[in-house]
Amino acid sequence: MNIILLGPPGAGKGTQAKRLIDRYGIPQISTGDMLRAALKEGTPLGLEAKKFMDQGTLVPDSVVIGLVKERIQKPDCAKGYMLDGFPRNVSQAESLDAMLGELKQRIDHVVSIEVPSSELLARLTGRRTCRACGAGFHIKFDPPKKDAVCDKCEGELYQRDDDNEATVSSRLQVYEGQTKPLIDYYEKQDKIRRVDGVGDMNEIFGLIVKVLG
Ligand code: AMP
């Protein structure tokens, strides 16, 4: 099963993807995570991406399309995969369709996680992630027991560089202008499965599993 997780920044795509991995045994392919890993390693691609990520704009299509094309051909994707944060605009979606055509693959479901924009700024600016295990917290909505310490592994919690208010505003604008039109794009292919992304994380997970059938 090949799935796209679609939704604004802060909709909970990454959180739900981590649970879906266990449920369906398919990998999460997050272009954001891949770019952050490249940046941490200091590769030329990571350094090139940094300026766009810091501004909250999209890195060039050619960069992310190349990353995805290579990744979906790895052996762990043979039974399917979950794309998180890709495609991010119509041109990436068209490239993905062309790529999947060549590989004789298809997207089965596009899960659209819907959260009103009024909620997103607070969700994003309060996010904290564990450096060691990647677990996610929120200083207000899901606080760790000890300040800045991961409940699961005692790792250090940090705030993503692009979760500051200025960059978040730009990311939300990019979503509205460039990514949201993908709902129409995939609606025409009859692949959109809408899920209400407000409420308890377990309930939202249940809704996703239900729409995936
Ligand atoms: P994310 O972790 O998905 O919120 O992505 C963080 C940042 O990485 C975005 O604001 C973009 O700068 C960049 N990025 C991630 N995925 C893509 C993509 N598919 N196309 C272009 N830029 C991306």
List pLDDT tens digits, range 30-64: 999 999 999 999 999 999 999 999 999 999 999 99
User: What pLDDT sits at residue 213?
Assistant: 87
User: What pLDDT sits at residue 201?
Assistant: 92
User: What pLDDT sits at residue 23?
Assistant: 94
User: What pLDDT sits at residue 151?
Assistant: 97
Ligand 1 pocket residues where CB is under 6 Å:
9, 31-32, 35, 52-53, 56, 58-59, 64, 85-86, 88, 92, 162, 171
- Identify the residue whose C-alpha is closest to ligand 1 atom 1: 32
User: What pLDDT sits at residue 66?
Assistant: 94
Q: Does domain 2-26+79-115+173-212 have CATH number 3.20.20.370?
A: no
In this structure, the strands spanning 109-114 and 2-6 are parallel
The ranges of the chain with pLDDT < 70 are: none
User: Do the Cβ atoms of 27 and 82 come closer than 8 Å?
Assistant: yes
* Full strand arrangement of the beta sheet holding 157-158: 136-138, 127-130, 157-158
Phi, psi of 191 (to 5 degrees): -115, -5
Ligand 1 atom, smallest distance to 53 CA: 12
